[in-house]
Structure 1
Amino acid sequence: MSEHLLDSQGWQEEAQAIINDVKDHVKLIEVSKQLQSTDSTIYLNVETLEHAKYTFELTVHGFRFCGNNFDENTLQNNEYFETPYALLNSVSPGFKNSFLDVLFQKLNYCK
C-alpha cells in the first residue's frame, strides 16, 4: 500500500506553496515537466544562487535529493529533510544568507 495524503492536485498546490516560499532565495524553482508527478510524489527542479542544479523529490516522507541536474531521478538517496529550507540550507550557503537577510530586515522593521 502506497502512502499518500494528497491527490495529484493537492501535490501541485503544495509544490506551488513551496515555490512561493523559497523563490526569492534561489535562482529558479519549478515543478519538473519531465518527471511524472503522482498522488504520492512531486519533483522540483531547483537552481541555487551558486548555479548548482538539482531535482528534489517531495513525498509524505519529506524532501530528498534525487538528481544532480534538472529532471533527474538517478540518486538512490534515503536522506529526507523535513522542510525545503533544511534541504536548501544543506547545499546552498547563498540560500541561508538570503533567507536570514530577509528575516533580519523584517525583524528590524518591526522595531
Structure 2
Amino acid sequence: MSERILDTQGWQEEAQAIINDVKDHVKLIEVSKHLQSTDSRIYLNVETLENARYTFELTVQGFRFCGDSFDSNNLENDNYFETPYALLNSVSPSFKNSFMDVLFQKLNYCK
C-alpha cells in the first residue's frame, strides 16, 4: 500500500489549512522553502510562543518532529501525532493555553 494519498498541490492545501488553524497560537508557521515536499509529505517550520524552532513533517501517518531548527531533517523519530494540536501541545505549554483561551472565549460567546 502506497503512502501517496494527495498530489503535491493537495499537500500544499492541507498545509495551508493547518497553518490557518494554528497560526494564532504560535509565533510563526510556514511551509519549508528548503526541504522538498513531495506527493507523500510536506515540511512545516514552526516557532513556538516560547521561541523554540522546529521542523515537522506531515505524512499520511500523521505529524512528527523531524528537525530541531527551521528547515532541518536531523531527528530520527517514529513518534507520530494524529493532529498538529497534539504535536504542538507536546512541546509548547503556551500553545495549549492560547488554544484553550480562544476556545473558552468562543464557548462563552455562544451562551
Q: How high is the TM-score relative to the length of structure 1?
A: 0.98
For 1:58, the aligned partner's letter is L
> Alignment identity in percent?
85
Using the TM superposition, give the Cα deviation of residue 2 of structure 1 relative to its aligned residue in structure 2, in angstroms. Answer: 4.0
Secondary structure of the residue aligned to 2:55 is strand
Segments of structure 1 that go 5 or more residues without pairing to the other structure are none
In structure 2, the partner of 1:61 is 61
- Find the aligned partners of 2:28 and 2:2 in 1 and give their Cα distance: 30
Extract structure 1 runs of 4+ deviating beyond 6 A.
none
- Find the aligned partners of 2:65 and 2:2 in 1 and give their Cα distance: 20
- Find the aligned partners of 2:5 and 2:17 in 1 and give their Cα distance: 16
In structure 2, the partner of 1:90 is 90
Secondary structure of the residue aligned to 1:71 is coil
Q: How high is the TM-score relative to the length of structure 2?
A: 0.98
Using the TM superposition, give the Cα deviation of residue 85 of structure 1 relative to its aligned residue in structure 2, in angstroms. Answer: 0.2
For 2:70, the aligned partner's letter is F
In structure 2, the partner of 1:48 is 48
Segments of structure 2 that go 5 or more residues without pairing to the other structure are none
> How many correspondences in the alignment?
111
In structure 2, the partner of 1:33 is 33
In structure 2, the partner of 1:78 is 78
Secondary structure of the residue aligned to 1:54 is strand
Using the TM superposition, give the Cα deviation of residue 3 of structure 1 relative to its aligned residue in structure 2, in angstroms. Answer: 1.1
